[in-house]
Amino acid sequence: MSQGDEWKWRACNAEKAIDSTNDGYWVLNADGRFMDVNPGYCRMVGYSRDEVMAMSIADFEAVATMPQIQAQILRIIQKGHARFETRHRHRNGHWIDLEITVTGVDQRYLVAFLRDISERKAADLALRELTRAAEAANQAKSDFLANMSHEIRTPMNGVIGLTDLLLETPLESDQLEYLTMVQESAKSLMAILNDMLDFSKMEAGKLSLEAALFSPAAVISESVRAMSKWAEKKGLALVCHIDPDTPSQVCGDAGRFGQILLNLCDNAIKFTTCGNVTVRARVTAVEGGAQELHLSVSDTGIGIAHDQQQSIFQAFSQADNSATRRFGGTGLGLAICTKLVALMGGRIWVTSEPGRGSAFYFTVRVNLLPAGQHPAQ
């Protein structure tokens, strides 16, 4: 085929494609008047070819004003091409969302292909609206959870306080036993409420840290002491090793630091029936004025299946075994710890062998303040 024949052949094919496609096609001069239009565009806007040919682009364009259209035409003629989204007006008044690909030819006119993207736009809008509604519902749920947890904590504090007072009065042995059970149940319920409150704060991005000087060794010892009674009751050895290099004072959130450790110790004791639970603390890295505390809580308990060692750090996630069901729990503790550790510039992870035990590790970054300098609040 000669080159001339090949061009003719291609032009003929292009013409057939342009006439049969559902996409729009037109050629526009620099004044915005139509020089050519295909049946696809005529169907899109609801006018006959003769009607379109007698009109200008400004009669269809629904977004840009005439000066903007003229500036756009000039820009495309100079630049050579453009792709953008706009809206054209249909004969019956409704708008059609279009994606337009325009090419400037000979610095004199524009050739454009137009695709009707109304359905895609409507789907995008519906999806955005659904996402907005889902986010609003989720926010409402989080607010409700936070309010309820807060409201229930007040009477629970009353129950715990009065039970403590009652336990100090002379009691029959079975009264003492029942009341101690009331106290334990009330404290468990309080712990669940605290987790729910923390979790709803976390969801709302309102979980924040305080900064004050504290002794890591004192917080660790206090946490271990708080757990020792329970460990003893279960016949477990609770051991604590604090590296002597651990700084005596650091700046950070002592309460939240202790909360992470307590949660890990609580789990370790909960999921261990014999053997020991060991807490270790050391300093791992020094960078500028900051140090990294490295803590581990290891146990000789039931362990965690390999495929569950990641998911347990997600909210409401519990390794599915009978022990978890037996010992209960909300499945929020590790998710809260993960968030707290991240806020403290550290990370948390686990190694575990099912049936042999688990070791949870976490690091937190703490600042060492020069002597005499007060911590920033």
Copy the structure tokens of residue 270: 């909960």
Nearer of residues 250 and 304 to ligand ADP, judged by Cβ: 304
Q: What is the smallest separation between the CB atom of 145 and ligand ADP, expressed in angstroms? A: 16
Residue 103 phi/psi, 5-degree rounding, is: -125, 135
Smallest distance, Å, CB 318 to ligand ADP? 3
Encoded tokens for 286: 């020094």
Whose CA is closest to 273, among 214, 202, 315, 327? Answer: 327
Question: Cβ closer to ligand ADP: 102 or 304?
Answer: 304
- Name which of 329 and 346 has its Cβ closer to ligand ADP: 329
Name the amino acid, one letter, at 157: N
Q: 271-296 burial, b for 16+ CB within 10 Å, e for fewer?
A: bbeeebbbbbbebeeeeeeebbbbbb
Residues contacting residue 21 through CB under 8 Å, at least 6 positions apart = 38, 40
Residue at 283: amino acid letter: V
Select 259 or 267, whichever has its Cβ closest to ligand ADP. Answer: 267
Closest chain position to ligand ADP (CB) = 329
Query: Closest approach of Cβ 207 to ligand ADP, in Å?
Result: 16
In whole angstroms, the minimum distance from the beta carbon of 198 to ligand ADP comes to 12
CA neighbor of 214 nearest in space, from 8, 23, 367, 13: 367
Nearer of residues 80 and 255 to ligand ADP, judged by Cβ: 255
Strands 276-287 and 237-242: parallel
Which has the closest alpha carbon to 300: 333, 277, 329? 277
Terminal CA-CA length for the chain: 83
For ligand ADP, give the closer residue by CB, 252 or 301: 301
299: its two tokens = 């146990």
- Other residues' Cβ atoms within 10 Å of the Cβ of residue 241: 11
Shortest Cβ 240–ligand ADP spacing (Å): 16
- Give least dist CB 200 to ligand ADP, A: 16
Task: Tell me, rounded to whole angstroms, the distance of Cα 270 from its chain centroid.
Answer: 29
Q: Which is nearer to ligand ADP, 295 or 304 (CB)?
A: 304
Please, which residue, 162 or 239, has the CB nearer to ligand ADP? 239
Q: Smallest Cα–Cα separation from 335: which of 364, 358, 310? A: 310
Find the shortest distance in angstroms from Cβ 293 to ligand ADP. 20
Nearer residue to ligand ADP within complex by CB, 142 or 194: 194
Judged by CB, which is closer to ligand ADP: 220, or 250?
220
We find the least distance from the C-beta atom of residue 130 to ligand ADP, in angstroms, to be 30
356: enclosing H helix or E strand: none
Long-range contacts (CB closer than 8 Å, 24 or more residues apart) made by 59-64: 59/89, 60/88, 60/89, 61/86, 61/87, 61/88, 61/89, 62/86, 62/87, 62/88, 62/89, 62/95, 63/87
Q: Smallest distance from the beta carbon of 286 to ligand ADP, in angstroms?
A: 30
Find the shortest distance in angstroms from Cβ 340 to ligand ADP. Answer: 12
Q: Which residues bind ligand ADP (CB under 6 A)?
A: 263, 267-268, 271, 299, 301-302, 304, 312, 318-319, 324, 329-335, 358
